[in-house]
Amino acid sequence: MHVVLGVSGGIAAYKAVLLLRLLREAGHDVRVIPTDAALRFVGAPTWEALSGHAVTTSVFEGTESVDHVRFGREAELVIVAPATADLLARAATGQADDLLTATLLTASCPVVMAPAMHTEMWHHPATVANVATLRERGVTVLEPDDGRLTGTDSGPGRLLDPEAIAAAALALVAPRGPRTGSLAGVRVVISAGGTREPLDPVRFLGNRSSGRQGIALARVAAERGADVELVAANVEPALLPTSGITVTAVETTADLHHVMTDRARTADVLIMAAAVADFRPARAEGTKIKKRADKTMIELVQSPDILRQLATSATDGQVVVGFAAETGDDSGGVLEHGRDKARRKGADLLAVNRVGNGRGFGDVPNAVVILDATGAEVATAEGSKDDVAAGLWDAITTVRNGRALVSGGDGHPNGHPAPDSTILR
């Protein structure tokens, strides 16, 4: 496969050398296109020796073969690592002032960008807007890692490890044979993980969801022949599938809301397995909040109810599934809260699971009670995450098969026929 590896000018450019080696060892033909600033961190001889191709940064070299157009047209995959704040801005605004940005404008293949920058730059509204623009245009912008940065800084903005970048990028172009199985021809979009809402450049409000259950749902759907996209909210790169499933990374509830609403236009099944923040800070501070007496209160505002919006706007035949992680409290038990949520959300199915004390979240067994939109129990599933995923897909398939036999819209809040609970048990 012909791969273009773009490298912009950040200290993390040294990691791109390891990424280049991984791609070459996997048998791919890799052409490195650095920026002028990148060559101040890693020189052209290194890129040329490891790639086997001459390296230039200018659109005025190779003019006889129109390289600034040819490289993008020939590429089957473009990876930019590191992608600095400057590179993201120039790509988002369509600039073509060097060979790398010109190549990005001519590439029609999948494009993956792995950002690396200081936390303040990653959270700056300009960068946030540029990333959103690129994602809207179909570019896969990976979430940076959280860890040690230049100097003594630490926080979100660290370049992902080369292995994670390679896995995410190659998954986008993995060959897919003819789909067979009970879900062949079905377009499935599944959210997984947990959203994070920034408080300041260092802190965020989040939750304990690892994304493992959503990933299991995606894996089982793919095994049954579905065309699957996993919308991953802050999932560890090592957990993500490396082939057969499209992965889109998001961070905040707003990011997730945007992607799921967009994908709902073409999906046959939507599953909201991600743990979504119900509230977010009214504003994210631009600098770290200091421990002072006047900073003891944080104003929160309510986040959009993504599951309810997906359920109420579902198209004919579309199945919407949600999750309810509950603990039970003085006002009611797990199932009581789950039934109330099922009626409020209006999803076709709601998987209710007890969490906490080593249950539900993380690499542990899971157990769910599956309710319909009226709050009635229609099935249960327990065991490993894959076992639960298989049980839920059995229930979803039953709903889809029932829709194929029943016409009309009676019995469901969003206009779909209600599932027959007797055949799901």
Helix axes 162-171, 13-25, angle to 10 degrees: 50
What is the full DSSP assignment across 319-370? EEEEEEEE--BTTB-HHHHHHHHHHHH--SEEEEEE-SSSSSSSSS-EEEEE
10 Å CB burial of residue 335 (0-12, 13-18, 19+) is: middle
Q: Could you give the CA distance from residue 9 to residue 4 in angstroms, rounded to a whole number?
A: 16
Q: Are 418 and 372 in contact (CB under 8 A)?
A: yes
Residue 288, SS3 per DSSP = coil
Tell me how far apart the alpha carbons of residues 329 and 335 are, in angstroms, rounded to a whole number: 11
Q: Are 212 and 363 in contact (CB under 8 A)?
A: yes
* Cα 141 to the center of its chain, rounded Å: 9
Beta strand spans in 92-226 (E): 111-115, 140-141, 145-148, 154-158, 187-193, 197-198, 204-205
Q: How far apart are CA 350 and CA 418, in angstroms?
A: 13
Number of neighbouring beta carbons within 10 Å of residue 305: 15
Tokens of 144: 């940076």
Active-site pick, 130, 207, 366, 414: 207
Is residue 10 a contact partner of residue 36, using CB atoms and an 8 Å limit? no
Q: Which stretches of 266-320 are DSSP H helices?
A: 306-312
Closest CA to 321 of 254, 388, 244: 388
Cα–Cα dist 190/260, whole Å: 9
* 401 assigned to active site: no
Where would I find the beta strands (DSSP E) of 103-203? 111-115, 140-141, 145-148, 154-158, 187-193, 197-198
> Residue 107: which of 69, 51, 149 has the closest Cα?
69
**CB 323, CB 272: distance < 8 Å:** yes
Catalytic annotation, residues: 207
